[in-house]
Amino acid sequence: MQLEQMYQEIILDHYRSPHGAGLRDPFDAESFQINPTCGDEITLRVRLDEGKVAEISHETLGCSISQASASVLTDLVVGRSVEESMRVLTAFQEMAQGRGQVEPDEDVLGDGVAFAGVARYPARVKCALLGWMAFKDAVVRVSGDVPGTAGGTSDGKDAT
Amino acid sequence: MQLEQMYQEIILDHYRSPHGAGLRDPFDAESFQINPTCGDEITLRVRLDEGKVAEISHETLGCSISQASASVLTDLVVGRSVEESMRVLTAFQEMAQGRGQVEPDEDVLGDGVAFAGVARYPARVKCALLGWMAFKDAVVRVSGDVPGTAGGTSDGKDAT
Amino acid sequence: MTAVDTPAAASALDVAAVRADFPILSRTVRDGKALVYLDSGATSQRPRQVLDAEREFLEQHNAAVHRGAHQLAEEATDAYESARARIAAFVGADPASLVFTKNATEGINLVAYAMSNAATAGPDAARFTLGPGDEIVVTELEHHANLVPWQELCRRTGATLRWFEVSPDGRLDLDSDPITERTKVVAFAHQSNVLGTVLPVAELVRRARAVGALTVLDACQSVPNRPVSFTGLDVDFAAFSGHKMLGPSGVGVLYGRQDLLAAMPPFLTGGSMIEMVRMEGSTYAPPPQRFEAGVPMTSQAVGLGAAVDYLSAIGMDAVEAHEAALTGRALDALAEVPGVRVVGPTDLVDRGGVVAFVVDGVHAHDVGQVLDDRGVAVRVGHHCAWPLHRRFGVAATVRASVHVYNTPAEIDALVDGVRAAQKFFGVA
Amino acid sequence: MTAVDTPAAASALDVAAVRADFPILSRTVRDGKALVYLDSGATSQRPRQVLDAEREFLEQHNAAVHRGAHQLAEEATDAYESARARIAAFVGADPASLVFTKNATEGINLVAYAMSNAATAGPDAARFTLGPGDEIVVTELEHHANLVPWQELCRRTGATLRWFEVSPDGRLDLDSDPITERTKVVAFAHQSNVLGTVLPVAELVRRARAVGALTVLDACQSVPNRPVSFTGLDVDFAAFSGHKMLGPSGVGVLYGRQDLLAAMPPFLTGGSMIEMVRMEGSTYAPPPQRFEAGVPMTSQAVGLGAAVDYLSAIGMDAVEAHEAALTGRALDALAEVPGVRVVGPTDLVDRGGVVAFVVDGVHAHDVGQVLDDRGVAVRVGHHCAWPLHRRFGVAATVRASVHVYNTPAEIDALVDGVRAAQKFFGVA
Ligand SMILES: Cc1ncc(COP(=O)(O)O)c(C=O)c1O
Ligand SMILES: Cc1ncc(COP(=O)(O)O)c(C=O)c1O
């Protein structure tokens, strides 16, 4: 059974009690993203403070993967500088889109490495990225541009 | 060589010296028909007299089959009643569309039976029918309807 | 709602013999699990008879149809037109009323675009013109393919879209009827690709006719699965796809009443659909050629002809009975699983072989993943019927759909898999 | 004009080995005559590598792409997108700039309809809108597929069609240039499907750009026969068909510059091309998905990918050289036959492998019949370029066209057949 490789305990834990769940005030920007194939939705709010990600909150209507991913995102980027958080995002995205070929760096991704198994299921990659794309979009809305990333959703494949 | 079965001497004779060639005045109606696949054209004039086909004249820009067919048409219908001519037309059309399965009646079709070989080449059937469709159309233009035929070009397959 | 309702004809279908015709069914997935293919509502598999027919055509007769005067071109044209004739007989129609398209989506778009083109196409086409004040009626259960083209037609013409609603048990709510004297088109599915509901075609046609509206039937989920006659149903237009009926992808059919096709302006333009072309302007061939611009999907039409022969040899009554038996089994078994809710009718009355459901506490995507891990292929998501999902308050459902090659044991594998998903995610 | 001009690369193509890959070439026609297929300009034949790739896909991986979450759906999606990537590399483009269509005709119509749809599609699409006073420029040598859609676009929008003329030697008459500040689109063939003439793409792009007009390249007769890079040519859009390049029928490609595709409104609408659908209205996915509504021609895309692999393995330089050698041989030999007149350039400069001609005193249809009787398959008629034929004062021509599998002996069989036709009809 390959299921356990995908649904690692860390993922199931985050899914059962997701961090950052529930929308909170105040916030600097909000992003609403959908996955057009399955209709899953996330609303994500971000509050920045002196170039740092001060708070993330989200409401996710989606599968275990998208919920767990939004939770891990919260853990990974809150407290970091916007620039650092974008480096984490890039690393996460590369792993998720890597078809299982990209070796994730646990120092950068922490619990995020648990999603390496998801990368082998192309139909689930969008689930894993939904929250991250919302985060990126929200940051753009605050700051007008995204430091430290190239392209991202603009390749037409991962836009939600 | 199957060529001779298609290009029977009668056909080649009519092709070399077509009857009715050259547009003549006076006429009761004129029809212009084209073959959309090869661009062949015919302009055909008909003059009726007391319910009879008094004269046919035509200018045919087309292959040997379409020219010979217009010539044979002239021979077959001039002097006949409109009604008789339509019976000949129906018989000719049935033979031409018969894929070589319809035994032509020489009493009705005269030299027209020479076109039985053409019927085995579906791409040439339209050539053989071009003049006949012009004749039918011209008669309709004079009389407003065509006695003795059912459908004809309206099946969408042989409209030119 | 039970397998007891199954007509005796079901026995006419020898499923083991049928399965032997489908090479893909003997492959395994996910580390050696037998493939349980329950996604025929998305696309069906092809029997070797269809593959062979297409290959034989390509190895022996391939040429551009309707264009050449050599022997191959004759043979190719004959094969293409013979396929049209056999497919026409299969759906109770005249060959001249069938237009080959790339899929059903193109067929529906063809009608919608012809209607907006009517605005500039002269008096013959006047009956197709639409403008502000005119209305188009669809239903809330439509596949996007029979919804978005009408939204876009409204955008182009200024007409307004209205719709029938769906009742909680997954039936069309006939009381929500928005048809009025302003209605010009009524477009609806023969069978929902999510609920399985078969719509009351005769009644909808009657209501549309009463106000002089044209009817457009989305027959994607009916032609593959039961006997259908378009002339019998008396619809004006109908569309279906080859790939859902054991035929090739890349080919579909638009049926149109001949007098309507004859008056309708063209959609795609180019080669083979013309009567006369000058730089200054062109005139167009009679239907169906008028609507088949360019080199067509020749071998695919031949393959679809072979698919229709294959289905006819089984008999569409037997196909329908077989699918009803499987559907009944699935509905019965899922009803036994606590926490599983079928979206759509739970009996077999006016209902076809697609079963969509939700599992409380487990997202459809996660259910699908567990099923996939066990070799069971279903579809998860909104199945291109997003408004319908919204109406039922769910983002996504799991959908199992059957065809001639499915077995009762495969239904059991599905239900076992659903229980396993509940267990894996700790909700049972 | 002679075979002496042939690049040395021609030797790279082992025609006997190539022929062995094409099952249809070993069949006979008309009572046992060897098939001499000189109609590849209409549609080419398929090597078994293409047939096998499609069959392997259908027997092992077939599923609806971009829609399922099970293993087959993953594999099918990978195969489909891998084909897109390989085809993109073949034409020097990014995969995201390639849209799969059913044929080139649909691709050109897509651009034309997107432009009329722009009128009601909001500010993003404003750059595509057309109206009275705007002009579209084509040429007199276009295939109907690159003429009639523009005539119809003019009809829908009130824009005006203008065209380049053709000189007596079958070249584009650049002095007849109708491009002005009013020109919004310049659409032209890369190579004429009748004359064989290769158009001066760089010069036409330069002139179009100078006035801010979009360029649309009909690449149907170039992509199959020589190395082509759309980004190198710097056109805005380009279209071609699979069936002319050893690939399946029912699949074609539209190339579009990514920034243009991103701003362009959709054409066909339905499943798989949406972002969000509500009954009240919908939003659309980014390209290329936005332009691929419905279940696509999946196995056909896979087959086209295999065709591109096959051509690449031979090498497009070798293909071009091989065809040039055959064309040179045909031009030389026909020049020796009194009463035969080639319509189009009589040398190999900027000229591809289609040779159209008339025979004094014998109608093209009759020449074609004699050739067919000898097993030689050519096309007769106006080849969907009726205005061009009118410009040369002929109703119909005979057209021979070559591809990788043709041999010098087949060219000789053509020329012998032309002489036989003259004899049969008593003009020589
Ligand atoms: C130059 C040219 N353009 C367009 C087309 C149309 O291609 P299709 O019929 O495959 O759409 C053809 C071939 O028929 C062609 O030769
Ligand atoms: C009810 C219904 N309508 C329309 C379609 C669209 O068919 P296609 O994608 O083959 O055009 C489908 C299948 O996807 C369907 O199930």
For residue D310, which of D32, D38, D50 has the smallest C-alpha distance? D50
Ligand 1 site, residue D197, Cβ cutoff 6 A:
no
pLDDT reported for residue A145: 64
For residue C145 the two structure tokens come to 């393919």
Cβ-Cβ contacts under 8 Å for C103 (sequence gap 6 or more): C241, C242, C243, C249, C250, C251, C252, D294, D295, D296
Average pLDDT, chain D: 96
Evaluate whether chains C and D are touching (3 or more beta carbon pairs less than 8 Å apart): yes
A143 Rama sector, left if φ>0, alpha if ψ -120 to 50, beta otherwise: alpha
Å between B39 CA and nearest CA of chain D: 5
- Interatomic CA distance for residues A88 and A28, integer angstroms: 21
Burial class (CB in 10 A: 0-12, 13-18, 19+), C211: middle
pLDDT in tens, D354-403: 999 999 999 999 999 999 999 999 999 999 999 999 999 999 999 999 99
Angle value at C-alpha D163, between D161 and D166, nearest 5 degrees: 160
Which of D40, D188, D217, D241 to mutate to test ligand 1, by most ligand atoms within 8 A of the CB atom?
A: D241
**Does B61 contact chain C (CB < 8 Å)?**
no
Check: CB of residue D110 under 8 Å from CB of residue D118.
no
Alpha helices in C147-236 (DSSP H): 148-157, 201-210, 230-233
- Interatomic CA distance for residues C177 and C164, integer angstroms: 6
Q: Flag whether pLDDT at D200 surpasses 90.
A: yes
Check: CB of residue A113 under 8 Å from CB of residue A102.
no
pLDDT reported for residue B127: 94
Q: Flag whether pLDDT at C201 surpasses 90.
A: yes
Compute, in angstroms, the gap from residue D228 CA to the centroid of ligand 1. Answer: 17
**Does C2 contact chain D (CB < 8 Å)?**
no
Check: CB of residue C397 under 8 Å from CB of residue C308.
no
The 3-class secondary structure across chain D, one letter per residue, is: CCHHHCCHHHHHCCHHHHHHCCHHHHCEECCCEECEECECCCCCCCCHHHHHHHHHHHHHCCCCCCCCCCHHHHHHHHHHHHHHHHHHHHCCCCHHHEEEECCHHHHHHHHHHHHHHHHHCCHHHHHHCCCCCCEEEEECCCCHHHCHHHHHHHHHHCCEEEEEEECCCCCEEHHHCCCCCCEEEEEEECECCCCCEECCHHHHHHHHHHCCCEEEEECCCCCCCCCCCHHHHCCCEEEEEHHHCCCCCCCEEEEECHHHHHHCCCCCCCCCCEEEEECCEEEECCCCHHHCCCCCCHHHHHHHHHHHHHHHHHCHHHHHHHHHHHHHHHHHHHHCCCCEEEECCCCCCCECCEEEEEECCECHHHHHHHHHHCCEECEEECCCCHHHHHHCCCCCEEEEECCCCCCHHHHHHHHHHHHHHHHHCCCC
User: What ipTM was assigned to the predicted interfaces of this complex?
Assistant: 0.94
Q: Flag whether pLDDT at A92 surpasses 70.
A: yes
Check: CB of residue B133 under 8 Å from CB of residue B158.
yes
For residue C27 the two structure tokens come to 């492959």
Residues of D with Cβ-Cβ distance to C43 under 8 angstroms: 62-64, 295
Q: D touches which chains (3+ CB pairs under 8 A)?
A: A, B, C
For residue C383 the two structure tokens come to 């199945």
pLDDT reported for residue C359: 98
Active site residue C220: no
Please tell me the number of the ligand nearest to residue D293's CA. Answer: 2
pLDDT reported for residue D403: 98
pLDDT reported for residue C403: 98
Longest dimension (CA), chain B: 47
Q: Flag whether pLDDT at D266 surpasses 60.
A: yes
pLDDT band, residue B143 (cuts 50/70/90): confident
Strands C252-256 and D28-29: what pairing?
A: unpaired
pLDDT band, residue B152 (cuts 50/70/90): very low
Compute, in angstroms, the gap from residue C145 CA to the centroid of ligand 2. Answer: 6
Q: Flag whether pLDDT at B147 surpasses 80.
A: no
CA C132 to chain centre: 31
DSSP C32: T
- Interatomic CA distance for residues D27 and C91, integer angstroms: 35
Angle value at C-alpha D32, between D28 and D37, nearest 5 degrees: 35
pLDDT in tens, C132-189: 999 999 999 999 999 999 999 999 999 999 999 999 999 999 999 999 999 999 999 9
- Interatomic CA distance for residues D410 and D389, integer angstroms: 26
Torsion of CA D157, D158, D159, D161, to 10 degrees: 110
Out of B116-125, C10-19, C202-211, D199-208, pick the least confident: C10-19
- Scan for tokens 């749809």, then name that residue: D117
For residue A24 the two structure tokens come to 């909170």
**Dihedrals phi, psi of C191, to nearest 5 degrees:** -140, 135
Half-sphere exposure of A69 (CA within 13 A, CB side): 34
| Candidate from D73, D286, D287 with C-beta closest to A123 | D73
Q: Flag whether pLDDT at D7 surpasses 50.
A: no
pLDDT reported for residue C9: 45
Out of A149-158, C215-224, D140-149, pick the least confident: A149-158
Strands C376-377 and D28-29: what pairing?
A: unpaired
Which of D295, D298, D299, D300 to mutate to test ligand 2, by most ligand atoms within 8 A of the CB atom?
A: D295
Torsion of CA D243, D245, D248, D253, to 10 degrees: -80
pLDDT band, residue D43 (cuts 50/70/90): very high
Å between D218 CA and nearest CA of chain B: 21
pLDDT in tens, B40-75: 999 999 999 999 999 999 999 999 999 999 999 999
3-state secondary structure of C214: strand
| Candidate from D78, D285, D288 with C-beta closest to A36 | D285
Mean per-residue pLDDT for C253-277?
Answer: 97
3-state secondary structure of C361: coil
Residues of D with Cβ-Cβ distance to A37 under 8 angstroms: 66-67
- Interatomic CA distance for residues D427 and D361, integer angstroms: 6
For residue C144, which of D289, D255, D114, D121 has the smallest C-alpha distance? D289
Compute, in angstroms, the gap from residue C271 CA to the centroid of ligand 1. Answer: 7
Among all residues of chain D, which has the CA nearest to that of A123?
A: D69
Compute, in angstroms, the gap from residue C299 CA to the centroid of ligand 2. Answer: 21
Compute, in angstroms, the gap from residue D389 CA to the centroid of ligand 2. Answer: 42
**Does C285 contact chain D (CB < 8 Å)?**
no
Among all residues of chain A, which has the CA nearest to that of C380?
A: A38
Å between C317 CA and nearest CA of chain A: 34
Interface contacts B/C by beta carbons within 8 Å: 28
Residues of A with Cβ-Cβ distance to D288 under 8 angstroms: 156
For residue B152, which of B69, B87, B102 has the smallest C-alpha distance? B87
pLDDT band, residue B146 (cuts 50/70/90): low
Residues 343-362 of chain C with CB under 8 A from chain D are none
Q: How far is CA B44 from CA B47, C23, C277, D43, D381, in A?
A: 10, 59, 21, 36, 22
3-state secondary structure of A138: helix
pLDDT reported for residue B155: 32
3-state secondary structure of C186: strand
**Does B154 contact chain D (CB < 8 Å)?**
no
pLDDT band, residue B145 (cuts 50/70/90): low
Mean per-residue pLDDT for C68-90?
Answer: 95
Cβ-Cβ contacts under 8 Å for D48 (sequence gap 6 or more): D21, D22, D23
Q: Flag whether pLDDT at A147 surpasses 70.
A: no
D246 Rama sector, left if φ>0, alpha if ψ -120 to 50, beta otherwise: left
Compute the 3-state secondary structure of chain C and give helix, strand, coil in percent, each to the nearest 5.
45, 20, 35
**Does B47 contact chain D (CB < 8 Å)?**
no
| Candidate from C68, C96, C285 with C-beta closest to B36 | C285
What pTM value is reported for the model? Answer: 0.95
- Interatomic CA distance for residues C378 and C368, integer angstroms: 7
Which of D220, D244, D354 to mutate to test ligand 1, by most ligand atoms within 8 A of the CB atom?
A: D220
Å between B9 CA and nearest CA of chain D: 11
Å between B100 CA and nearest CA of chain C: 14
3-state secondary structure of A69: helix
DSSP C147: T
pLDDT reported for residue A160: 31
Q: Residue D63 corresponds to which amino acid? A: A
pLDDT reported for residue A146: 57
For residue D354, which of D9, D41, D36, D11 has the smallest C-alpha distance? D41
Average pLDDT, chain A: 89
3-state secondary structure of C278: strand
Q: Flag whether pLDDT at D414 surpasses 60.
A: yes
pLDDT reported for residue D3: 42
pLDDT reported for residue C11: 52
Task: Identify the bridge partners of residue D139 per DSSP, sorted by sequence position.
Answer: D164
Cβ-Cβ contacts under 8 Å for D78 (sequence gap 6 or more): A122
Q: How far is CA D206 from CA A136, D200, D213, in A?
A: 40, 10, 10
**Dihedrals phi, psi of A100, to nearest 5 degrees:** 80, 5
Q: Flag whether pLDDT at B7 surpasses 90.
A: yes
- Interatomic CA distance for residues C196 and C176, integer angstroms: 20
pLDDT reported for residue C296: 97
CA A66 to chain centre: 8
pLDDT reported for residue C356: 98
Residues with CB under 6 A from ligand 2: C 103-105, 143, 145-146, 189, 193, 218, 220-221, 241, 252, 384; D 271, 294-295
pLDDT band, residue A143 (cuts 50/70/90): confident
Strands D281-284 and D397-401: what pairing?
A: unpaired
Q: Which atom in ligand 1 lies closest to the alpha carbon of residue D102?
A: 11
Task: Report the residue count for chain A.
Answer: 160
pLDDT in tens, D154-164: 999 999 999 99
- Interatomic CA distance for residues C374 and C35, integer angstroms: 9
pLDDT band, residue B100 (cuts 50/70/90): confident
Percentage above 90 pLDDT, chain C: 96
DSSP A21: B
Out of A122-126, C279-283, C357-361, D279-283, pick the least confident: A122-126
pLDDT in tens, B111-138: 999 999 999 999 999 999 999 999 999 9
- Interatomic CA distance for residues D383 and D399, integer angstroms: 8
Which of D93, D214, D223, D384 is catalytic? The answer is D384
pLDDT band, residue A158 (cuts 50/70/90): very low
Longest dimension (CA), chain C: 72
- Interatomic CA distance for residues B59 and B56, integer angstroms: 11
pLDDT reported for residue D9: 45
